[in-house]
Structure formats: C-alpha cells, structure tokens
Amino acid sequence: MTEADPAGGHRLVAVLVTQAMASAAPPGVDPGAFLAAVAEDTYELAAGLDFVTPVLVTSVPGMEEIVWPGTPVIGIAPGLSGGALVAEAFAALPYGGQAVLISGDAPDLPPLLVGKLFRALGRARIAVCPAADGGAVAVAAHLPYPEWADAGFDDPDPVAALRAAAPGRRMVATGPGWHRLRTPGDLHRLDPGLEGWDNTRALLSA
C-alpha cells in the first residue's frame, strides 16, 4: 500500500515490459508464455496498490491482454535500452506528479517496497530499488523525469551513476533491494512462501 501524495499530485505505478525479459524462461517453457506470466504478475502487483494508477509501458505487441480494463497501455519503440529506455518510459506516462517504473521481470516484488520508494521521494528527486547482482528493480521519480538522469535497469550501479550526474548528491535516494528474473538461474530467487506471482508459479509448476 502506498500513501496519498501529501502534495496532492497524482501517483502512477508503471510496469515496463520488453522482449528481453523473456530470456529467463527455463528449458521447456515457451519464452512468450513466460514473458506474459511474469509481466502479468508484476502488473497485478501495481494494480493492487491503493492510491495509485497502474500503467503498462511496453514494446511487446499483445501485452494489453494481461491488464485490467481501463488500464492505460502505452507502446514504445523496440530496441531501446539503458538510460534511453528508462527515460522514454517515463516520458510516455500520460500525467502524474510522481511515478514508480518497475521492471516487468520482478513478479514477486513486495508491494511494501513500492511504498518505500514513494516515501523516499519526500526527500529526493529520484529513488531506486537496487537489484541483486547489480542494476535496478524499480526507479521512482518526480515528474517530469529529470534530463540529467541517464541510468538503465541493467547498469552495474545505477545509484552511483545517477548520483554522479545529479546536481546534488541528496537528490538520489535508495530503498531496500530485491531481485529480477534475468536468466534461468535467477528462478531460485522466487520465494514460494510469498503471496502473489500466481501466473509465474503456475507456469513453472506445470
């Protein structure tokens, strides 16, 4: 659950889905089905939060099938990567005062961590949920996304890169970390004891 924005600005939680996120599909599992499952679980996390509007940002055709009716689905060009992809995703958001952009390969991300990112925006311009083994799981920002921010989800140390580029070091905060499913070897990170990630769980158990 997230808190209402004390400044009164609208809050968005956007899930970013690209074709590269299918690369964690294990042998014997269709990559397309795997991508749809992890993306839907990540989206359902966003859609279940209070006081926010969920959005899907994707370069993969057909992803509108995984979202609830009324959810904005925003298409972006394929082939983008790194900081350009993150900046394009934020720029595509239709409105809002603050937004969290979540990588679509984090199906078991605890909702509490999204709330912590919004809370961190009370003292910073950008907040990052670091990913295990480097990179980021999610990036939160006041909108519009600052032009100096040029770090991607798969950068080795996006927090350090953002702080180096920011006009002031305190403009970039970091929250608790989590994990993503970037290779089949990452599947062991999924915790069967956690609620959620039902689609991924069912697909991997079939």
Question: Closest by alpha carbon to 173, among 119, 134, 93, 115?
Answer: 119
Neighbours of 112 (CB within 10 A): 11
The residues facing 57 across adjacent strands are: 16, 74
The residues facing 15 across adjacent strands are: 56, 102
Question: Residue 5's pLDDT is what?
Answer: 47
Say how far apart CA 155 and CA 187 lie, in whole Å. 21
Cα 82 to the center of its chain, rounded Å? 14
Question: Residue 206's pLDDT is what?
Answer: 84
Q: Residues of 153-170 as b/e, b for ≥16 C-beta within 10 angstroms?
A: bbbeebbebbbebbeeee
Say how far apart CA 201 and CA 115 lie, in whole Å. 24
Confidence of residue 103 (pLDDT cuts 50, 70, 90): very high
Question: Residue 169's pLDDT is what?
Answer: 77
The predicted model gives 82-105 an average pLDDT of 97
The predicted model gives 39-49 an average pLDDT of 98
The predicted model gives 54-58 an average pLDDT of 98
Rounded percentage of the chain residues whose pLDDT exceeds 70 = 96
The predicted model gives 134-146 an average pLDDT of 98
Question: Residue 125's pLDDT is what?
Answer: 98
The predicted model gives 45-72 an average pLDDT of 97
**To the nearest 5 percent, what fractions of the chain are helix, strand and coil?**
35, 20, 45
Helix residue ranges per DSSP H, 109-150: 111-120
The predicted model gives 35-50 an average pLDDT of 98
pTM: predicted TM-score of the whole model, two decimal places: 0.95
Say how far apart CA 183 and CA 102 lie, in whole Å. 18
Question: Residue 3's pLDDT is what?
Answer: 40
